[in-house]
């Protein structure tokens, strides 16, 4: 095979794994462009809270803390940060949640994420909307504009 022939080049987007623990037991699927960005921080899964520490049947999402010294700041969830990086704004003020189309919270590829309302998110049981891959057109809005819009809705 001629490596200099452009017809032989594999230009499809690569899916890579980002490991969340030192034992390589938990990992997240990411697009290659988001992998290199996410490698700047240490990501982990959110932990059980409250009286019932058992997380049986409950979703766990990859996140990272953003504390500086003694000040507490809320966790940053990987799927929300990736959606903000795309620059796609929510289509309406009601679309406040980033939803996984296939229902797998460890699949954070861009084509698997979408803005959703709380009702849409509840109806997406075990990935019932995974065939709606490219329902939102990409807009030329910057990441900063998407972050401002999300901040205003919070």
Q: How many structural domains is the chain composed of? A: 1
| Residue 31 within a domain | yes
Residue 47: predicted pLDDT:
67
Residue 82: predicted pLDDT:
92
Residue 58: predicted pLDDT:
66
| Residue 5 within a domain | no
| Residue 149 within a domain | yes
pTM: 0.67
| Residue 54 within a domain | no
Residue of 53, 73, 54 whose CA lies nearest to 63:
73
pLDDT tens profile 94-119: 999 999 888 888 898 988 899 999 88
Residues of the chain with pLDDT under 50: 50-51, 55-56, 133-142
| Residue 52 within a domain | no
CATH of the domain at 145: 3.90.75
- Structural domain of 130: 13-46+59-153
Residue of 84, 124, 112 whose CA lies nearest to 13:
112
| Residue 85 within a domain | yes
């Amino acid at each position: 095979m001629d490596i200099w022939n452009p017809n032989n080049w594999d230009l499809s987007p690569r899916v890579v794994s980002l490991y969340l623990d030192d034992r390589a037991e938990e990992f997240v699927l990411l697009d290659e462009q988001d992998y290199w960005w996410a490698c700047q921080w240490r990501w982990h899964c959110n932990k059980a809270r409250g009286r019932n520490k058992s997380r049986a049947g409950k979703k766990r999402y990859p996140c990272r803390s953003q504390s500086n010294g003694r000040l507490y700041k809320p966790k940053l969830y990987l799927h929300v940060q990736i959606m903000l990086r795309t620059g796609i704004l929510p289509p309406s003020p009601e679309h406040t949640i980033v939803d996984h189309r296939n229902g797998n919270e460890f699949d954070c590829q861009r084509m698997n994420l979408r803005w959703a309302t709380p009702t849409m998110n509840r109806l997406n049981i075990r990935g019932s909307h995974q065939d709606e891959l490219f329902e939102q057109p990409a807009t030329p809005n910057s990441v900063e504009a998407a972050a401002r819009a999300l901040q205003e809705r919070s």
